Amino acid sequence: MVGFFYAAVLLFVFVDVHGTPFDDVENYIEEYQKGIDELLNLGDKYAPEKIKLEDRWQYNDTEVIEDPEEYDFIIVGSGAAGSVVANRLTEVPEWKTLLLEAGGYEDEITRIPGLSLDLLGTKYNWGYKSIPQKNWCFGKPDKRCVLEMGKAIGGSTVINGLLYTRGNAKDYDKWADLGNKGWCFDDVFPYFKKVEDAHLKTYDTKFHRYGGKIHLENSREELPLTETILEAAFELHIPFVDYNGKEQMGIGFSQGSTKEGKRWSAAKGYLNDITKRPNLSIKPFSHVTKILIDPHTKKAYGVQYLKDDKLYAAKATKEIILSTGALNTPKLLQLSGIGPKEHLEKFGIESLSDLEVGTPLRTHLGFPGLKFIFNNTKVKGRDEKKT
């Protein structure tokens, strides 16, 4: 992160020096040094947090502070799922909801799409890595893959690559055929349209709409070579498609969850406008370590969470909703006594339900695509810079 800003400052200085020379060299050097110091401090601001989930054990003998409020619902995690659930539940004025998030708020740095990969090494990512792999991640130490998992109000939508892709209808239909009622494409399609506020150049109007919570647009960076590539695809009889429309095989403009070129997270869409609802309480930097479960009835009635090095307990009369992602959800369940008994006993956790939680756990294969570098001097008679 510091390296990126340092480069930006050097670029600024280069332009300034060659455009309008400084009259006072000493003041210039002083301002330059001040800028470097600010960048170094900025690096600490975005550094990953050193506290690990396992550190919760040191709080076992800590006095638990009871939350004086009683809630109808407690939502753990404010990402793509949790932010939506919080928005919808608080539409009912009589329901009081607590939203707990281990991370903090996004800022202007996280809104820069080009920094998505840099954000993986900051406090906005949990910093998880896979176990050593046999056939993957050969370029990583010990062949351990980096796992992206957002730690912020907005979850992984604060650090992801921003591409909006629904997938193929046949995948959803297959899930339904396997017994997952309500997951065929015809069932989920209305919800895809409902979330969208689509401002796209070219798209199939049957598959998109305006007015939803998530703003969509095409990349605002239009390279002159784009038109040439599209013409080449046309000559090769490759169809131009809206890949979130009827067909996915072809060529088309990428679609992303941005607005005016800036990241549009789930928090921007679903939380920012409802923070003043009296029945919603959002607590950032609140790291849930355990679900409180009655051992006799096996019913969850609350959660424990760390905040400012203090251990709190909050209770809910209706439901505890976990929206903590594919990794933290099974881990939190296991820490609460729900999981493989033999595994839990190794860590001294009392087993409440001997279930195969988190086994097996797999994630999708990631492929960033092919990248091409064009070194042209002219395109259709126009002078071009190297791209």
- Residue 269 structure tokens: 């869409």
Decide which of 52 and 81 is more confident.
81
Residues 96, 72: contact at Cβ < 8 Å?
yes
Name the amino acid, one letter, at 219.
S
Name the amino acid, one letter, at 74.
I
147 pLDDT band (50/70/90 cuts)? confident
Q: How confident is the model over 280-289, as pLDDT tens digits?
A: 999 999 999 9
Residue 137 pLDDT greater than 60, yes or no:
yes
State the helix-helix crossing angle for 2-19 and 25-45, rounded to 10 degrees: 160
DSSP 3-state of 369: coil
- Residue 345 structure tokens: 């006993």
The contacts of residue 113 (CB under 8 Å, 6+ apart) are 162, 256, 258, 261, 262, 263
- Average pLDDT, integer, range 174-199: 96
- Average pLDDT, integer, range 130-136: 88
- The DSSP-derived string for 140-153 is SGGGPPB---B-BT
What pLDDT was estimated at residue 72? 98
Helix (H) / strand (E) containing 325: helix 325-335
Q: How confident is the model over 199-222, as pLDDT tens digits?
A: 998 778 899 999 999 999 998 877
What distances in angstroms separate CA 47 from CA 123, 205, 308, one per listed residue? 5, 43, 18
Q: How confident is the model over 9-22, as pLDDT tens digits?
A: 333 333 344 444 54
Find tokens 């992303």 and name the residue.
256
Q: How confident is the model over 40-59, as pLDDT tens digits?
A: 677 777 888 765 544 555 55
Helix (H) / strand (E) containing 192: helix 185-195
What pLDDT was estimated at residue 360? 80
- Average pLDDT, integer, range 302-312: 94
CA 154 – CA 77 distance, rounded (Å): 9
Look at strands 353-354 and 338-339 and give their pairing.
parallel
Residue 387 pLDDT greater than 50, yes or no:
no
Residues 91, 72: contact at Cβ < 8 Å?
no
Residue 160 pLDDT greater than 70, yes or no:
yes
What pLDDT was estimated at residue 265? 97
What pTM did the predictor assign? Answer: 0.82
What pLDDT was estimated at residue 362? 74
Q: Quick one: DSSP state of residue 255?
A: E
261 pLDDT band (50/70/90 cuts)? very high
Residue 321: Cβ-neighbour burial (10 angstroms; 0-12, 13-18, 19+):
buried
Cα separation of the two ends of the chain? 23
Mean pLDDT, all residues of the chain: 85
What pLDDT was estimated at residue 330? 95
